[in-house]
Amino acid sequence: MDYRPIMSTLGYVLSPDRQRVLMVHRIARDDDEQLGKYNGLGGHMEPQEDIAACMIREIREEAGIEVTAMSLRGTVNWTGFGAKGEDWIAFIFLVEAFTGEPHSDNVEGPLEWVEVERLGELPMWEGDRHFLPLIFDDDPRPFHGYLPYENGSPVGWSYTRL
């Protein structure tokens, strides 16, 4: 089988007090396969950019802020993901500092500051619940996860952290 995943970024912007994270509530488009879900910010990597430049660009486009410090927290390999059953690889960043004031919304929906402890209460992709704790824990090592999907639901989760 030929494996050509979609390369993407997913970023979680921390508030200056590190207690809240900026999330998008995807309610703006009826045709959005993520309709009603909360998600971090990010998107597809462009051919001419590296993955860090992609994350910085996506945060600028989606939130209107400039990243000044971020760390790679991990990667996730999704296979069979979404309505089209595509394969994705996401580089997941924690944005620890920025300049500017975030927009109140973007084309996907409103941007909301959510307490980190409350993230698990939000409607989101079921699989995100597996890796979210690893993004915000105190372990400095990045994680590298595999999260296969079938028919819109995760069917496994494994990760390596060395």
CATH of residue 33's domain is 3.90.79.10
Residue 146 counted as domain residue:
yes
In a domain, residue 18? The reply is yes
User: pLDDT tens digits, residue range 19-53?
Assistant: 999 999 999 888 878 888 999 999 999 999 999 99
Q: Tell me how far CA of residue 7 lies from CA of 94, 129, 160, in angstroms.
A: 18, 21, 20
State residue 76's pLDDT score. 98
Question: By the 8 A CB rule, do 10 and 92 touch?
Answer: yes
Q: How many domains does the chain have?
A: 1
Is the pLDDT confidence value at 1 over 80? no
Q: pTM of the predicted model, to two decimals? A: 0.95
The residue range of the domain holding 144 is 6-160
